[in-house]
Amino acid sequence: MQNIKENEKLSTLNHSCAHLLAQAVKHLYPEALFWVGPVVEEGFYYDIDLGDITLTEEDLPNIEKEMKKIAKDGKNIIRHEISKEEALEMFKNDPYKIDLISRMDENETVISCYTQGDFTDLCRGPHVSSTKLLKNFKLLKVSGAYWKGDTNNKMLQRIYGVCFETPEELEAHLKELEEAKMRDHRKLGKDLGIFMTSDLVGKGLPMYLPNGYIIWEELENYIKGKEKKLGYQHVLTPPLGSIELYKTSGHWDHYQESMFPKMEVEGEEFVLRPMNCPHHMMIYGNSIHSYRDLPIRIGEIARDCRYEASGALKGIERGRTFCQNDAHLFVTKEQIKSEFESVVNLILEVYKELNITEYRFELSLRDPSDKVKYYPDDEMWNNAENTLRKVLDDIGLDYVEKIGEAAFYGPKLDVQVKPAVGNEYTLSTCQLDFCLPMRFNLSYIDKEGNKQTPVVLHRAILGSIDRFIAYYLEETKGLLPLWLSPVQINIIPVNNNFHLEYATKLFNKLKDLNVRVNLDDREEKVGYKMRESVIQKIPYAIIIGNNEVETNTISYRKCGKEETTNMPLDEFINQIIDEIKTRKIN
């Protein structure tokens, strides 16, 4: 799905269409007042104050009809330049425009506005030349939006839309949106009983239901198993810490805006932790280490909390609490290359096994001109960035450099995935850190008996397990591979009077083998049960009828497939056990 904001022609078209929307709303609701109507990646929106009137999705076709009427009339869109004083006079009865004008730069003495027929609005532009060019649009949804994004301000109504040059482009885009809607992990999560949210619990605080926790446990066991084979030691640390811990690490100075407010208990100040590295630094520092002990790999599936604005929340992809597949590797300088290469190899191995193919590597570096975001030590930064760049070049990894994307304490390698829905984001990461070990006074004894400071690699393979589940649900449309599916097999007897006994024996046999199996013995037609099985995304549906009972076989149909396969019972069970054990990807 293309980014409309980055396409100059589409950006102009959509911004012009936002004005068309505002003009139509003004015709239908003369008392309407307008805040801003920018172009966004998905199209455009306009924030509108309609007083006591609340729009719903059912109102959008009527607004579209008025927009088409205006477009057909084909008025020219004319740019005017007026003084600030003239602008204040022109919009004197509009508090939103007055606010915009009054906050403009004092040196900005000339203000541009655009007129199309009976409608004039402030705008820098550019716009298309005529409303007749705005024919291929669609209003998508309406929602609430606080004025200026401040929850203390009035709630406005935000109407979203999109516009293209041709009807074919619009139709193709709408099909993509419909596909994205079907893949949206929030819809799948609700339909498949994976997670839920509740305003009473709190925004951005999802809760995993039994089906979701099965997926969670399988992923946790999968990645922990791989880490244990590589010598990782797993720990458990508390989801909060004292303010002093985060002052020592530097997070309080450099990351405070993303942290929840501090809490005071018995004179001590605590904060919910945004990440786990300070705790793992303390675990390393709990005992004396020799160079022979290194590398030490400390891993944890750790619960973290970060403050996210409510508008940025998105199901389990982006919440205010999440669990990281986190680890910190304490190494000597000589071990950086081999350990970093091992992390990269683990990422590639996991991606291959889970069939993740759309990804790329970014080397995230600091912006040297930013004296606030980054820990102030030029020598340390130059050393860290040059070391990491050389490691990546030596292992032959293709990457692009991104200035200003590093963590405050060090550069990092990010793996950007292209999900089936929305824009790419970071899934896995590995960070090189010379800073935190110094701040925590960590050390090891070298061959000569001298104290040395270790280097730390921060790494997350699945990233946050929450985000990974969201990503994987959208990639698979909820049809997860057998080993991850909450229910792996659905047994459907054709007639309970004749086939339930055989079906029950099969159910018990599979259950004893730890297969997650369901027996659908409801008094419903087979076709209805089959459709339900598909809706619930159960990988295998087994049909038990006369032939299966008489021949000691089963007939199965894979979810999404039309053909039915018959085979001996024991052969099927062996096939299923192998598919689960080897974590096959269909």
Quickly list DSSP for 42-61. Answer: TEEEEEEE-TT----GGGHH
The set of catalytic residues is 277, 306, 324, 326, 328, 412, 458
Query: Residues 71, 16: contact at Cβ < 8 Å?
Result: no
Q: Which residues contact 390 (CB under 8 A, 6 or more apart)?
A: none
In terms of Cα–Cα distance, which of 484, 428, 409, 422 is closest to 212? 484
Last residue of a domain, one of 476, 492, 513: 476
Q: What is the CATH number of the domain that holds 258?
A: 3.30.930.10
pLDDT one digit per residue (tens) for the chain, 586 residues? 677 888 889 999 999 999 999 999 999 999 999 998 899 988 999 999 998 899 999 999 999 999 999 999 999 999 988 888 888 888 888 888 888 888 776 666 678 889 999 999 888 888 999 999 999 999 999 998 888 887 788 899 999 999 999 999 999 999 988 888 899 999 999 999 999 999 999 999 999 999 999 999 999 999 999 999 999 999 999 999 999 999 999 889 888 888 999 999 999 999 999 999 999 999 999 999 999 999 999 999 999 999 988 878 899 999 999 999 999 999 998 999 899 999 999 999 999 999 999 899 998 888 877 767 777 777 878 888 888 888 888 888 888 888 887 877 788 889 999 888 777 889 999 988 888 999 999 999 999 999 999 999 999 999 999 999 999 999 999 999 999 999 999 999 999 889 999 999 999 999 999 999 999 999 999 999 999 999 999 999 999 999 999 999 999 999 989 899 999 999 999 999 999 999 887 6
Nearest 5°: the CA angle 570, 571, 574 is 85
pTM as predicted:
0.83
Q: What is the CATH number of the domain that holds 547?
A: 3.40.50.800
440 lies in the same domain as 304: yes
Query: 66-124 pLDDT, tens per residue?
Result: 999 999 999 999 998 888 888 888 888 888 888 888 877 666 667 888 999 999 988 88
Domain count for the chain: 3
Last residue of a domain, one of 160, 183, 206: 183
486 lies in the same domain as 472: no
302 lies in the same domain as 424: yes
Residue whose tokens read 């390393």: 284
* Distance, CA of 116 to CA of 76 (rounded, Å): 6
* Distance, CA of 553 to CA of 575 (rounded, Å): 14
* Distance, CA of 384 to CA of 387 (rounded, Å): 5
Q: Virtual CA dihedral for 172, 174, 176, 182, nearest 10 degrees? A: -150
* Strand extents, DSSP E, 43-151: 43-49, 77-83, 110-116, 119-122, 136-146
* Distance, CA of 148 to CA of 146 (rounded, Å): 6
93 lies in the same domain as 162: yes
Query: Residues 38, 158: contact at Cβ < 8 Å?
Result: no
Parent domain of 146: 4-183
Does 188 fall in a domain?
no
303 lies in the same domain as 452: yes
Q: Is 265 exposed, middle or buried (0-12, 13-18, 19+ CB in 10 A)?
A: exposed
218 lies in the same domain as 343: yes
146 lies in the same domain as 16: yes
408 lies in the same domain as 503: no
Query: Residues 583, 222: contact at Cβ < 8 Å?
Result: yes
32 lies in the same domain as 152: yes
- Name the strand (E) or helix (H) holding 553: strand 553-558
